[in-house]
Amino acid sequence: MRSSRSAYKRPGSGLTGRNRKIAIGVAIAALAGGALAVGTGMSNASTSCDGLDQSLRDTLSFMADQRAHPNAQTDAVLANRQAVVDLINLQRQQAGCTTKIAAPPAAATTKPATKPATTAPTKAATTAPTKAATTAPANNAGTGAGEVVCKGSTVTLSGEAGAPFASSGTFPLGTKLKVTNLDNNKSITVTVQTTSGSCVLLNNAAFEQVREPGKFLIRRAVIERVG
């Protein structure tokens, strides 16, 4: 009996006190290293998604601003930026990013363009119908009144020579406009042949037919689109 007891040893009993402490320390370090690796991986993924999400927001915001303020290069710029958006979304998918990024509204930046409509309705509603009806047969070749446009705009001359025509930055070439001077009840119908930065400018010959002597600006004008 005494010999069998002395032969049995508990697992780990062969380690000395110092060796046991070293083994326990190694096990704890291994567990901590594994936890650190997992934590670091999650942290890196989160950081990657944050950067991709911000890049996508910035790109979408830039595209919205381009649409709100278009220029000659807008189409090409938007096509280029859309390719960037597609690439970022692919990278976000590969990184496991789940945040939904929406494009900012673009319409809000264009609202100021509607301001002229708030000042003109009174003038157009009270003066345009009566004046246009009285002058149309004499100066508009019987075409009658059309749609009143560019309410509240003044009309001046473009300085261009030739037969009567108009220049416009609002209407496409070939559009027919009737311009009535309410100060002398004279009107003329002209075709837009060149572009400008105004609703309508009359060339020298057209302006001469509706101007008041000595004046180079029609302050009380009604502009109608008739074709």
Does 10 score more than 60 pLDDT?
Answer: no
Give per-residue pLDDT as tens, 165-179.
999 989 999 999 999
If phi > 0 it is left, if psi is from -120 to 50 it is alpha, else beta; for residue 168 that is beta
Mean pLDDT of the chain: 74
pTM of the predicted structure, to 2 decimals: 0.38
Would you list the DSSP string of 26-51? HHHHHHHHHHHHHHHHHHHHHHHHHH
CA dist 68 and 63 (Å) reads 9
Burial 174-209 (b: 16+ CB within 10 A, else e): ebbbbbbbbeeebbbbbebbeeeebbbbbbebbbee
Q: What's the maximum distance between 2 C-alpha atoms anywhere in the chain?
A: 139
Q: What is the mean pLDDT of residues 66-86?
A: 80
Give per-residue pLDDT as tens, 146-158.
899 999 889 998 8
CA dist 141 and 143 (Å) reads 6
> Residue type at 137?
P
pLDDT for res 147: 93
